Amino acid sequence: MSRQIVLTKTAEKRLDDLLEYLEKNWSLKVKLNFISKLEKRFEVLKKNPEVFPNSNIKKGLHKCVVTRQTTVYYTFDNAKIYILTVFDNRQDPKKLVKEIE
């Protein structure tokens, strides 16, 4: 069974900001490479959302490392996977707690 991926407003904003940053400060190639990695992770998530570990931040929250710098936090039910945030691992972890509440 393949689930639908839904991005929250926070996740959309974080992803947009990240993609803009990658293109502006690195290159289009780096941005496209990141998008490719993210899409591959999403394909895995759709088929088997349990594959990535639980986060110790909140019950039912999972984390999917996309790159060393970026982790996607999500929850899921039988039909959908809810991407709560796309988090830059270099930020203060307290900021993450606020984003997923």
Number of domains, the chain: 1
In this prediction, residue 101 carries a pLDDT of 74
Question: Which residue type sits at 19?
Answer: L
Place of tokens 């290159």: 27
Question: Which residue type sits at 5?
Answer: I
| Alpha helices, DSSP H, located in 1-101 | 9-25, 28-47, 93-100
Tell me: pLDDT of 36 over 80: yes
- Residue 42 belongs to domain spanning: 4-100
CATH code: domain of residue 8: 3.30.2310.20
pLDDT, one tens digit per residue, over 40-90 is 999 999 999 999 999 988 889 999 999 999 999 999 999 999 999 999 888
Name the region of 63 (left: φ>0; alpha: ψ -120 to 50; beta: rest): beta
Give the pTM.
0.91
